[in-house]
Amino acid sequence: MPRKSPLVIGHRGAPGYRPEHSRSSYELALAMGVDAVEPDIVATKDGVLVIRHENEISGTTDVAQRPEYAERRTTKRIDGVALTGWFTEDFTWDELSTLRTRERLPKIRRSSASFDDGQPILRLRDLLDLVREGSDEHGREIGVVLEIKHATYFESIGLALAPLIERELRESGWADGELPLIIEAFESTVLRQLRERGVAASFVYLIEATGKPFDLVAAHGKAAPSYRDAVTPAGLDALVGKVDGISVNKRMLLEQGNRIVADAHARGLKVFTWTARPENAFLSPEYRTGGGKSAYGDYESEWSAIAASGVDGVFVDHPDLAVSFFRG
């Protein structure tokens, strides 16, 4: 029986070609044939959900060049790590809306960086409307894979994300199950909160190759289980009935002898992986070739190994290459 091709999910749109999370990045991903797109969400001071990879925005906007916001540069501990910069929770939406997006990896993605400073930040509502309109335009159902960032941190400063997300999804018509929606997070607590609120979605637990989930560290300290504990048979057993799937760092799927997909599927859990990128900078060492970090390496061999694992979905930065490869 031929293997079913995985879902191709535009990771922050099509950031191989346009600044991540920009309108043009998402529009390009939709036009290139993705099954879904993946926005990351964080919150503003006044409780507006915005699309940014992190709440620290100096690397993805022009905020550092805006003299009126110079005094807001500060240092905070986010998920236990000290970060210095500008943070979304220190701005209102009206203020953030004046900023413009920038390429996060300009040395690797020079072409994308040529689009810097031309587009505003999107709210979650803007993205949901864009995907609905794109589905109509392209004549196919396109989903949203909503990633929640730093939920425990935001709750600690009085900006609980679960009620904000529920309200936004209900008001925009994305919470009733009629439109394809997956909600994912590196913290299982916020996923549970949204399930309890009755949001109709598939819930996916994001899993890093190293470290521990911050919500569990905050609750249990050194006794908190690691991410790797979640993909053991016992760890997967504990997830059944709590989430619908897991999404693992691709490094874990490329390790010899791993049984992550088989063990998860045996328990009725879907498996996604991130992030399939063609540049040498992001490939496993054995698939890198000459030409430097920004040159494309032997990505097809790495992607073949990912496909052979039997995953249900792949997050990608270059949707055109991925649609051609995984559906070819």
**What are 154-177's pLDDT values in tens digits?**
999 999 999 999 999 999 999 998
Give the tens place of pLDDT for each residue, 47-102. 999 999 999 999 999 999 999 999 999 999 999 999 999 999 999 999 999 999 99
Cα distances (angstroms) measured from residue 42 to each of 52, 90, 164, 185, 270:
6, 12, 10, 12, 25
* pTM, 2 dp: 0.97
Element (H, E) at 313: strand 313-316
Give the tens place of pLDDT for each residue, 261-304. 999 999 999 999 999 999 999 999 999 999 999 999 999 999 99
Q: What is the pLDDT of residue 3?
A: 55
Classify residue 175 by burial, with Cβ atoms within 10 Å: 0-12, 13-18, 19+. Answer: buried
Give the tens place of pLDDT for each residue, 210-254. 999 999 999 999 999 999 999 999 999 999 999 999 999 999 999
Amino acid at 24: S
* Closest to 130 in 3D by CA, of 121, 140, 122, 120: 122
CA distance 201 to 207: 19
Does the pLDDT at position 10 exceed 50? Answer: yes
Helix, strand and coil in the chain, % to nearest 5: 40, 20, 40
* Closest to 25 in 3D by CA, of 14, 35, 34, 33: 14
Give counts: helices (H), strands (E), the chain.
Answer: 13, 12
**CA end-to-end span of the chain, whole Å?**
16
Does the pLDDT at position 139 exceed 80? Answer: yes
Element (H, E) at 251: helix 250-253
Asked if residue 275 has a cis previous peptide bond (ω within 30° of 0), the answer is yes
Kindly state the average pLDDT of the residues 6-20: 98
Kindly state the average pLDDT of the residues 319-328: 94
Assess contact for 197 and 167: CB atoms under 8 A.
no
Q: What is the pLDDT of residue 241?
A: 97
Q: Please name the residue that has the structure tokens 């010899």.
A: 256
CA distance 297 to 81: 32
* Closest to 72 in 3D by CA, of 92, 97, 90, 52: 90
Q: What is the pLDDT of residue 59?
A: 97
Beta bridge partners of 313: 7, 272
Residue 43: both structure tokens together: 């919150």
Q: What is the pLDDT of residue 328?
A: 72
Which residues are CB-contacts of 68 (< 8 A; sequence separation ≥ 6)? none
Q: What is the pLDDT of residue 2?
A: 46
Residue 230: both structure tokens together: 């979640």
Q: What is the pLDDT of residue 1?
A: 38
Q: Please name the residue that has the structure tokens 């009733």.
A: 176
